Chain A
Amino acid sequence: MPAGPAASPLSTETPMSEQTTAPATSSATGPAAGGAPAARVRDIAMWYPGGVHALDGIDLDFPTGKLTALLGPSGCGKTTLLKIVAGLIPPSGGTVEAGGATVSAPGPDRALVFQDFALLPWATVLDNVAFGLRLRGVGRAEREATARHYIDEVGLGGFESKFPHQLSGGMRQRAGLARALAVNAEILLMDEPFSAVDEQMRRKLQEDLLSLLQIEKKTVIFVTHSIEEAVYLADQIVILSRRPGRVSKIVEPDLQRDGPIENIRKDSRYVEMVDDIWDGLKQFVE
């Protein structure tokens, strides 16, 4: 990003493609009606300047209240797809809908959890978590109360006045998660959120995320390159092919999630599913 990373975001974010005609949804169902996906993408294509063809013909539904994992080899455009849904990158073609409305920019219905946490280094955990609310003009007392609530919920209670550099990677991502939850968006976008922490911490974070999602009913789009992580967390796994990324396969792990979370990893179907997906993915990995 030598061309000044701030240049593009500060110049207006009008995407080139805003043809409102999404390929006919089963339009009988209103946006709020049960069964309608919280978000959908239609025929998304992405070319980067210089001719890199990152995504091609992506059609996906992201069911309300479910966790969809985008899984694929590195460079398959899964993060690009996530950022298109976030409204950060205008797609070269196709449409994104969230809550029934066409997406062309970031909006309050979608919050993002970043791979590198993206915490403000000069702000405390409390201020970082409250950041989104502050931008919206929520008063100090109210936003701090909300922030404290989510800080407790993600298990960071007691660290409100710490700065990011005083926290471990896992704790930083908890702060990132709390920040995304604090704005109360329906859709939570997570970009390889646990890839920068060590294995044990990752497992703990995965478990905590599942417990959290049982309380906070969110639609989650979760980018990962880990098959195990996808099978463990997701209700729906979208497997993307190598560049240009296309939907190669969609699987729905039918794991018993009602019981204690620890049981999922012991479920024999978990192991089988991981193997199956690996067999399917091998072809894309050289």
Chain B
Amino acid sequence: MISFRNIRKSFGPKQVLKGVSFDVQDGEVFFIIGASGVGKSVLIKHLVGLLCPDEGEIWLDGQEISKFDEEQMYPVRRKCAMVFQHSTLFDSMSCEENVALPLRKHKKLNARQAIAEARRLLDKVHMAEFASRFPAELGDGMRKRVAIARALTLDPTYILFDEPTTSLDPINARRVDHLIRELSNSLGVTSIVVSHDLVSIFTIADRIVMLYKGEVRLLGTPDDFRNTTDGVVRQFTRGLAQGPMDI
């Protein structure tokens, strides 16, 4: 289980997170939603130590991890993989080398073993035939699938998805949604998804938290969000240009 407790974070004079607290249960597909710049990506980067909170605690499976140093974070990053917004594959490496890197660094496999395992994982996301291609030669949807294969290399318990369907066409977006749901159903992986994609949110989410002005506005199931009377939440989840939201 993951617990964020009273997380505060500022960048210079701008306070992005103003005391965010919620729990994520094992095995669920948990969405973090909110307007651009509200601190959704910032929040999930705290979980894997890419950012440190100014205040507050982060608990992962009974361990407080917010004060961990870089090396203490390595086991946390094995447990929590992350798929970044723009896939962030390494330009200078082929797809199979990209997927093999965490296997070489985390699992200490040699190059040949890592590449063999990488090809198996690429096959899992239907990218085996592009294994030797470089990221620049692939489309957005294909890069995203390679990034997901890379995230799966270490058999993570948790996967963090930062806007996984942004910049994808609707078909590829629904394929990615299906993959996220499938990971939860078949492997028991807990997924935390940062997204604006309303279709994804109401199709695959088990629970949703909405951040607004650096605080939790509403936490609940998709039905809670559909039936809420909160004007701010209604405006966001219905994609209305006019309403009480101050953005």
- B is a partner of A: no
Chain B positions near chain A (C-beta within 8 angstroms): none
